[in-house]
Every structure is written in C-alpha cells, then in structure tokens.
C-alpha cells in the first residue's frame, strides 16, 4: 500500500463540503494530576481542512488555557490542555470549541461544555 492509498477517513465517513462541517462530539476528562485536561474532539469528515480554537475559562471567566489548531488534517483529534496560573485547579471550568474557516467571528460551529476538576484526594 503506497502513501497515496492510505485513507484519512474511515470508509463509512464521506468527506463533506465546508458548509456541512460541524463539531460532532466533545469529550473532556481531567487527568489525575488535575492540571492537565484530556480533550477529544470529533468533527464531520471534511474536504477542506477546518480551523479550531479551544479556550478554557475558570469560574471567574479568566482564560486558563488556549489552543489553536490551524487546518487540521484529522477529523478525530485528541489534545492535552494545561490549566495555567492557578495554585489549586479544583473547580468548575468551561471549554469553548469554535470551528471556522476564513473567519472565526462568528464561528461556523461552536460547542461549549462545562466540567469540574475535583479537589485533591
């Protein structure tokens, strides 16, 4: 099998045009150290590579982590985001994921999820 024969998408997912691309799934799980957050994002299989902006806020609406993904090649992505500038990460957080092409204002699709980082054991 040559590199040209390796599929980027499973055979049951037909790549879609730009206007059909959406965030299909978002999974957020704090790691046991509580300062790192596992993020799993699935978008519609695409023909044109989208951009993503992931921004994490604490309960006081301060940005504690941010990640820019420019023209991703993958529709199924996993990231580790780090909670920054806090002594104890325990608390409520919000992760906003924007999917966009030429402009992010407004984004083509947006997913907002809240999650909790537990107290230390």
Percent of the chain at pLDDT above 70? 91
Mean pLDDT for 73-78 is 97
The model carries a pTM of 0.89
Is 52 inside any structural domain? yes
pLDDT, tens digit, for every residue of 28-72? Answer: 999 999 999 999 999 999 999 999 999 999 999 999 999 999 999
Reduced to 3 states, what is the DSSP secondary structure of residue 66?
strand
Is 40 among the domain residues?
yes
In a domain, 54, yes or no: yes
Domain holding 64, by residue range, is 19-117
For 20, which DSSP code?
A: G
Residue 9 has pLDDT above 90, yes or no: no
Residue 5 lies in a domain: no
**Per the domain annotation, does 12 fall within a domain?**
no
Here the CATH number for the domain that contains residue 39 is: 2.60.40.10
Reported as a single tens digit per residue, the pLDDT across 21-35 is 999 999 999 999 999
Residue 10 lies in a domain: no
Question: What is the count of structural domains for the chain?
Answer: 1
9: in domain = no
**Site of tokens 């409520």:** 92
DSSP E strands, 1-121: 23-30, 36-43, 51-58, 63-69, 76-82, 91-100, 109-117
């Amino acid at each position: 099998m040559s590199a040209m024969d390796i599929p980027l998408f499973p055979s049951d997912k037909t790549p879609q045009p730009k206007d059909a691309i959406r965030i299909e799934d978002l999974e957020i799980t704090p790691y046991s150290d509580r300062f790192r957050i596992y993020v799993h994002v699935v978008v519609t299989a695409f023909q044109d590579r989208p951009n993503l902006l992931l921004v994490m806020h604490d309960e006081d609406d301060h940005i504690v982590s941010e990640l820019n993904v420019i023209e991703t090649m993958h529709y199924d992505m996993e990231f580790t985001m780090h909670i920054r500038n806090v002594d104890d990460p325990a608390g409520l957080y919000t992760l906003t994921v924007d999917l966009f092409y030429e402009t992010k204002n407004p984004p083509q699709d947006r997913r907002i999820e809240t999650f909790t980082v537990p107290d230390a054991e």
